[in-house]
Structure 1
Amino acid sequence: MMFKVLKDRAKDALREDFGAKLRLFLIPIFGGIISMNMTYRSNYNSNVDTVNNFDASAITTGLLLSLLLAMLIGFLIGALLSVIIDVITVGARFNYIKIYRGEHTSLRFKNVFSPFKDGSWIKIFVLHLVTSLLLVLLAVTVIGIPFAIYLGLGWSQKDYILFDQLESGTYNGIWGVLNASSQVMQGSRGDYFLFLLSFILWYILSGITLGLAKFWTTPYIEMSTIAYYQNLIASNRKTY
């Protein structure tokens, strides 16, 4: 199916009561904007301070330990916030799947926290952690990068597969989710890569506006990828 058709379907799914649908992704959007701006400012200030104020004689063991402790605390807080935002993002995707399928009767902001209420946040966390670790380990070596890309594209539907398995009661572990995602993506990895690439101008716009464009691009891209998934499983005519 042509990409334009899928994108038009996504727009149709978002058109009615867009404000309420946007609110479901507000936390991930604000998280992305804050992270983007903090990274930019941190890199800029770090470069300026390094050039203008570097004094090796001023570094003491106590200062070094304090800096390391501050970095560790910052890392732990950042990791915790990252996990929370990640789970909320998947919670928003679960709601978008229902919206796209016409199953949603209530568009409440609190719906994005449902994974914390029903306990599925643990499954989401483990699924994303294992996937990220495996892909990072593969990408460490140059020869492993093509395999990481191949697996990453194969596992790209994991959140949607997880939702369907949880809804149907067929969930049997993260490997069941990843295997099902790989199956549904058979023969479609290249096509899906091109589909994602078709949003490149939207990604550039988000970068130029320091994330402000995400208030439109995030709901649009998220709903479009769900439209792609729905088309995949409809073509396969198989329950995952």
Structure 2
Amino acid sequence: MEETMSTRRRQFKADARQLLDRNFRFYLLLFLPIFIIMIVTAVPQWMNGAGVDNPGYNLLSLLSIISGLLTVGVSFVLIDLQRGVAELTEPVSKSFTIFNRGAYLWGAFALEIITSVFTILWSVLLLVPGIIKGLAYSQAIYIYRDYLDQGHKIGFLEAITLSRKMMDGHKWEYFVMQLSFIGWGIACVLIIPIIWVVPYMNQTMANFYVNLAAQEDESDEEPTVVSPVDDADQSTTESKPETPADGDEKTADNDDKTE
């Protein structure tokens, strides 16, 4: 199992590096608005740490929220790149993908709030259950977006439930993959520019989702997530995911155990 996880992790990273190395200029411009916000927010924080008064706390908080939303939209683009359904053109325009559709923006904002509340509630009990739940909810926004793009109706709680199902047996793999970038984070401070590390990490995470979504499509007679590549050849009727029970988020499920 560990060898399989390690092999998959290396493949996700290799695919990400291949895309990044061949199209670095595109990735640089794609992430440029995010990098600018990172710099704008980092300077006042540094000044505050140096003892300089910082009156713009509310503005910095707003910029942080915008940066998070932009990152979600960019992740949509990275998923499409891995699937081969997006062109490597107009990177700056694609940076603002989250604002291209109101449902994207509202979904990202709402799901972030809901999953944060659920995670905090679990963390109140113990830290570890909170971490596990956070990992389980991590793919909800991408599932939500895939359903929207295919014209399927899906609620926020449904997306969260489908994320939990998708991450069953993969939470530890996702956690280890995140940890594997700690060294890269240190390296970008000392040697490698952050403008390469951040796209590399995000593309790897996008590859992880694409792989899991494809597995769900292959294993289910009625796909949990409809792949844009496959959907063009399908004429099956629309299927609706199972609605989660009202008490779903109040009790721990056996499938949320750490692998």
Does TM-score exceed 0.5, indicating one fold? yes
Q: CA deviation at 1:208?
A: 5.0
| Structure 1 residue corresponding to 2:137, chosen from 115, 136, 155 | 155
Contact 1:135 1:152 in 2 (8 A): yes
Partner of 1:239: 224
Distance in 1, Cα, partners of 2:65 & 2:153? 21
Q: What is the match of residue 10 of structure 1?
A: 16
Return the alpha-carbon distance in structure 2 between the equivalents of residues 28 and 159 of structure 1: 19
Q: Give the direction of change, closer, same or farther, for the CA distance of 1:135–1:208 in structure 2 (3 Å limit).
A: farther
Tell me the equivalent position of 1:118: 101
Q: 2:118 aligned with 1:173, yes or no? A: no
Partner of 2:194: 214
Does structure 2 conserve the Cα–Cα contact (< 8 Å) formed by 1:29 and 1:218?
no
More displaced 10-residue stretch of structure 1: 35-44 or 189-198: 35-44
Q: How far is 1:35 from its partner?
A: 3.0
Paired AA for residue 239 in structure 1: T
Where relative contact order (Cα < 8 A, 6+ residues apart) is larger, the structure is: 1
Counterpart of 1:103 in 2: which secondary structure?
A: coil
Match for residue 80 of structure 2?
98
**What letter is aligned with 1:121?**
L
Contact map agreement 1:95 1:104 (CA 8 A) in 2? yes
What do residues 82-124 of structure 1 show as CA deviations (whole Å, max 9, x unaligned)?
2222221111111111111111125211122233232121111
Between Structure 1 and Structure 2, how many residues are aligned?
Answer: 212
Aligned to 2:26: 20
Distance 1:127 1:207, change over 3 A: farther
User: Are 2:175 and 1:193 aligned?
Assistant: yes
Question: CA offset at residue 223 of structure 1?
Answer: 0.6
Q: Work out the CA distance in 2 between the residues paired with 1:206 and 1:35.
A: 18
Q: 1:43 to 1:154 in 2, by over 3 A?
A: same
Separation (CA, whole Å) in 2 of partners of 1:233 and 1:6:
14
Counterpart for residue 89 of structure 2: 107
- SS class of match (1:99): helix
Q: Is the 8 A contact 2:41 2:60 kept in 1?
A: no
Which protein shows a greater Rg? 1
The structure where helix makes up a greater share of residues is 1
Q: 2:37 and 2:119 mapped to 1: Cα distance?
A: 23
What are the Cα deviations for residues 158-215 of structure 1, in whole angstroms up to 9, with x where unaligned?
A: 2322221221122412112111111110011111111111111012234557xx8320
Give me the TM-score of the superposition, normalised by structure 1: 0.78
* Aligned equivalents of 2:119, 2:182: Cα separation in 1: 22
Q: Which residue of 1 aligns with 2:119?
A: 135
Indicate the larger mover: 125-134 or 180-189. Answer: 125-134
Q: Which runs of 5+ in 2 are unaligned?
A: 226-259
Q: CA deviation at 1:152?
A: 0.5
**Partner amino acid, structure 1, of 2:95:** V
SS of 1:232 mapped into structure 2 = helix
Give, in angstroms, the shift of residue 37 of structure 1: 4.0
Under a length normalisation based on structure 2, what TM-score does the superposition of the two structures give?
Answer: 0.73
Deviation of 1:39 after TM superposition, in Å, equals 2.3
Q: Distance in 2 between matches of 1:133 and 1:162?
A: 18
1:79 aligns with 2:61: yes
How big is each residue's C-alpha offset from its partner over 1:14-51, in whole Å with a ceiling of 9 and x where there is no partner? Answer: 233221122111122232344344323312326xx9xx
Alpha-carbon distance, 1:131 to partner: 1.8
The one-letter code sitting in structure 2 at the alignment partner of 1:18 is F
The residue correspondences of 1:46-61 to structure 2 (distance < 5 A) are none
Identity %: 28
